[in-house]
Structure 1
Amino acid sequence: MTHPEYILTLSCHDQRGIVLRVAGFLAEHGCNIIDSAQFGDPESQLFFMRVHFALEDPSVPDADLRTAFAALCEANAMRGQLHDAHAKPRVLIMVSKIGHCLNDLLFRYKSGLLPVEIPAIVSNHMEFYQLAASYNIPFHHLPLAAGASEEAKLAQEARIIELLDMHRIDLVVLARYMQILSPGLCEALKGRAINIHHSFLPSFKGARPYAQAHTRGVKLIGATAHFVTGELDEGPIIEQDVERVDHAMTIDELTAIGRDVECVVLARAVKWFVEHRILQNGHRTVVFK
């Protein structure tokens, strides 16, 4: 017999007895824990927990379980969520003219490696409408001319918000979307938008960062996936990775390596998000792998 499965996540002030109370709650409601992870942060004095469990008592309805969990959270000052473990989060991907991350995410989605639904792709350019069509995903071309007015930008973002509402989007992925989001849209997407960008030591901003890195002779290149905030590229970091490079590599070779790292880092971040493994801890994240 197949039992419904859930993922419980919570954060609260660190104190004795939290694990006992959660485990007791699950036992009392006919649930069996499949796996569990927790972390107490001595700096923030916060406790974080993720529990994957099965509801094995058929006499306990889903609505009753959720109501009881909400009461547990309220009684213990917890910020908690209860997710259907088999529900596929709905993801909207945004992209501009560089498509390696989009292509990688679509392949993982189609092959079943990424348990999501992708009801829409948004772009300010037309480059990838055929790629979207090959996966039977609606492609929305929302152009924004260089130097566009604030009014035009807000009108374009209003259309994006319409799509988010229409498709009941759980996560927005900026797969090399090269437009800065307005503070209003960043706030609307707080905690549910992930961006990817290159990571260099030293950092190179502006056009052609891999060419700048090549000129400076960098030895490490990498990528960072982070939550989107109103501070450009300053949101809580979810995942990072690096690759070593050397003097013999051309700009094109550096770019290819960098794009491979970007794909892997972004895919990990998205997968961890949809599996409810990421909890925010102030300006940092706790990631239960």
Structure 2
Amino acid sequence: MHPEYILTLSCLDQRGIVHRVSGFLAEHGCNIIDSAQFGDPESRLFFMRVHFALEDAGIGEAALRASFTALCDAMQMTGQLHDAKVKPRVMLMVSKIGHCLNDLLFRYKSGLLPVEIPAIVSNHMDFYQLAASYNIPFHHLPLAAGAGDAAKLAQEARILDLIDTHQVDLVVLARYMQVLSPGLCAALKGRAINIHHSFLPSFKGARPYAQAHLRGVKLIGATAHFVTGDLDEGPIIEQDVERVDHAMSAETLAAIGRDVECVVLARAVKWFVEHRVLQNGDKTVVF
């Protein structure tokens, strides 16, 4: 078996990018397994993802990475080279609603989600037994209702310490119901994903499905997006909807909504850890 890698890049659109990248791989004994690219006429940026195998045993990973860095510098590209066999490390955060956490853990244990989960963080104790059943350390970081800025920053400092200690690549807010501070959002830029129902901004606050039921909505859905300092407005990664009708109760709508949230979040996480998601300003490119 030859070692496999995933190359991702973005740069100003220009002639010859695909030619230069494919030529670089051929010169370094690499065989392309699959490739995708997109040129955005609005941002004038070009994006590319290439999955390839290094078939020349005489070329080591260090030499390949050094040459790729030189190519990025020469073409003014922002690029990354990922070892395809390395599973990204994901920290899950949850409060008192556990359907997304339970779904992600099942997919992880079943091998459907290629990640390592070194820690689960919560401001409540509700899911410590669930974490234990998967043999994953559970970190209870409580934050009292009405806690001041100092307490919140102290709690977030412990979150950052866990991220550093466990070398976390991605933080998933699996229905973590605390608003992150601007500082923590900045520290996690591009590596934190949130999930929420797609009623925003129409039905904010408590019991959104009950509010939607009273208004007779016909579509419910969910949105997974990158976390930013603008609450629930980060670059969208994935969305989905389900049709509902007048005969359904608010409880039925909420149950359907939970299923959609699980699926949408799982897709977003899987695409991220497979290095398929590239940010394009306030949007994303998903290969």
Normalising by structure 1, report the TM-score. Answer: 0.99
Report the CA distance between 1:86 and its aligned residue. Answer: 1.1
Equivalent residue, structure 2, for 1:113:
112
Equivalent residue, structure 2, for 1:210:
209
Q: Deviations over 1:44-90 (max 9, x none)?
A: 00000000000000000100000000000000000000000111000
How many residue pairs end up in the alignment?
Answer: 287
Q: Conserved in 2, the CA contact under 8 Å of 1:201 and 1:221?
A: no
- Describe the SS at the equivalent of 2:198: strand
Normalising by structure 2, report the TM-score. Answer: 0.99
Q: Evaluate the alpha carbon distance shift between residue 202 and residue 118 of structure 1 in structure 2; reply closer, same or farther with a 3 A threshold.
A: closer
Q: How does 1:1-289 map to 2 (within 5 A)?
A: 2-200=1-199, 203-288=202-287
Q: Conserved in 2, the CA contact under 8 Å of 1:196 and 1:223?
A: yes
- Describe the SS at the equivalent of 1:200: coil
Report the CA distance between 1:202 and its aligned residue. Answer: 6.8
Q: Deviations over 1:83-121 (max 9, x none)?
A: 001110000000000000000000000000000000000
Q: Distance in 2 between matches of 1:148 and 1:210?
A: 28
Q: Distance in 2 between matches of 1:35 and 1:219?
A: 39
- Describe the SS at the equivalent of 1:106: helix
Q: Distance in 2 between matches of 1:202 and 1:59?
A: 56
Q: Evaluate the alpha carbon distance shift between residue 98 and residue 190 of structure 1 in structure 2; reply closer, same or farther with a 3 A threshold.
A: same
Residue 25 of structure 1 aligns with an amino acid whose one-letter code is F
Q: Distance in 1 between matches of 2:96 and 2:2?
A: 44
Q: Conserved in 2, the CA contact under 8 Å of 1:90 and 1:117?
A: yes
Residue 86 of structure 2 aligns with an amino acid whose one-letter code is A
Q: Distance in 2 between matches of 1:202 and 1:153?
A: 26
Q: Distance in 2 between matches of 1:284 and 1:167?
A: 29
Q: Conserved in 2, the CA contact under 8 Å of 1:29 and 1:57?
A: yes
Report the CA distance between 1:201 and its aligned residue. Answer: 7.5
Q: Conserved in 2, the CA contact under 8 Å of 1:194 and 1:225?
A: yes
Q: Deviations over 1:189-241 (max 9, x none)?
A: 00000000000287210011111101111000000000000000010000000
Q: Distance in 2 between matches of 1:133 and 1:142?
A: 16
- Describe the SS at the equivalent of 1:191: coil
Report the CA distance between 1:251 and its aligned residue. Answer: 1.0
Q: Conserved in 2, the CA contact under 8 Å of 1:200 and 1:220?
A: no
- Describe the SS at the equivalent of 1:254: helix
Q: Distance in 1 between matches of 2:136 and 2:145?
A: 27
Q: Distance in 2 between matches of 1:46 and 1:156?
A: 38
Report the CA distance between 1:175 and its aligned residue. Answer: 0.2
Q: Conserved in 2, the CA contact under 8 Å of 1:7 and 1:52?
A: yes
Q: Distance in 2 between matches of 1:146 and 1:216?
A: 31
Residue 252 of structure 1 aligns with an amino acid whose one-letter code is E
